[in-house]
Amino acid sequence: MSANDRIQIGIIGAGGIGNEHMKGFQATPGAVVTAVTDVYQPLALERAKQYGIPNVHATYQELLQDPRVDAVVIAVPNDVHAPIAIEALQAGKHVLLEKPMAMNASSAKEIVKAHHKSGKVLMLSHQQRWESVYLQVKEQIDKGALGRIYNTKAGWMRRKGIPGWGSWFTQMHKAGGGPLIDLGVHMLDLSLHFMGSPKPVSVFGTTYAEFGPKRKGIGDWGKPDWNGFYDVEDLATALIKLENGGTITLDVSWAANTTFQDNGPYIYLMGTDGGASLKMGQGTLHTELFDRTADVEVNVPEGDEGPRIRMNAHFLECVREGREPMTSAMSGLANSLVLEAIYESSRTGNVVNLDWSLD
């Protein structure tokens, strides 16, 4: 840590989300961004200038050796999440790792093992858990106001939102999947969190690719590469069974002929004593009173600092206190196991049981 006790952050990957992290950590008290790297050096140099970051490294390996870095943010394509996270932990750095944890469950398990050995903090970057409305709803759940949540319907159905057509985003060997691994991971993470983090045990699902291969459904995140290709799904649907008897239905698309849920993220929680409808950071709580339905709106307070600042502050607190973060390595593994099982179920047509063993 630096003289004035701020945690020194190194950013690995200066693209779309790396930029958000630089902005976010600059605005978070107790942190200072001291280093950045990107395989595309002009971008790292440009961001360093923009944010006044003093050290630009040629490679992530070089950044990991920098003593002016206590913790790293890993904001690179999915195929390099696991190798970089493992090396960072071995180099004694705390890690804030972008979602999805890894390309597949076996790589996620390798990260979990490296994390156990390291004694460092490993946190997954799921900023949606830090939305003000979601925090308020979770508080009610933790007080028992919704009873036992036995069914959750979650998803994110974009009508025209394929990111970076032809780039790493749409290539299976670099991304590990399409909207399921990109958007579905957020909604699955939130669903399990709201339901009290029960272990998922089995999955039945199907994926489709009806738009991407035809170069249709293109959105505006990421840069298209028309020399590239598209071999991931553009829609996925699944039923996930949990060890406590609960179920989650998950529906995601990058492209589909629908305006379902206004193309944004949604979660409906069904509890024995109450429920919640959450859509794009807004929410309503539901229950039954005097034989009638009763709804209470949950709002974002005025002047809210936003989810990213809260997520970053939590990461810094965990680093300072050596605490396990809310989006822990095991929560990342749960997500990876489910996502991989949905792809396997789609390929085989069978229900897939999750293998939680670390060997």
Q: Which residues are at the interface with ligand NAD (CB under 6 A)?
A: 12-18, 37-40, 43, 60, 75-78, 80, 98-99, 125, 127, 182, 222
The least distance separating ligand NAD from the CB of residue 220, rounded to whole angstroms, comes to: 12
- The tally of CA atoms less than 13 A away on the side-chain side of residue 344 is 16
> What single-letter DSSP state applies at residue 162?
B
- Select from 222, 216, 284 the least CA-distant residue to 253: 216
Residue showing the smallest CB distance to ligand NAD in the complex: 15
The least distance separating ligand NAD from the CB of residue 118, rounded to whole angstroms, comes to: 20
Q: Which is nearer to ligand NAD, 34 or 37 (CB)?
A: 37
Distance CA 25, CA 70 (A): 13
The least distance separating ligand NAD from the CB of residue 108, rounded to whole angstroms, comes to: 13
Token pair listed for 26 = 């600059």
Please report which residue ranges of 225-328 form alpha helices under DSSP H. Answer: 307-321
The least distance separating ligand NAD from the CB of residue 235, rounded to whole angstroms, comes to: 18
Angle made by CA atoms 345, 348, 349, in degrees to the nearest 5: 70
Q: Which is nearer to ligand NAD, 326 or 352 (CB)?
A: 326
Q: Which is nearer to ligand NAD, 175 or 285 (CB)?
A: 175
The least distance separating ligand NAD from the CB of residue 211, rounded to whole angstroms, comes to: 19
Q: Which is nearer to ligand NAD, 15 or 275 (CB)?
A: 15
Angle made by CA atoms 33, 38, 39, in degrees to the nearest 5: 165
The least distance separating ligand NAD from the CB of residue 44, rounded to whole angstroms, comes to: 8
Q: Which is nearer to ligand NAD, 38 or 131 (CB)?
A: 38
- Select from 34, 265, 75 the least CA-distant residue to 161: 265
Q: Which is nearer to ligand NAD, 77 or 246 (CB)?
A: 77
Name the phi and psi angles at 358, rounded to 5.
-90, 0
Distance CA 191, CA 206 (A): 19
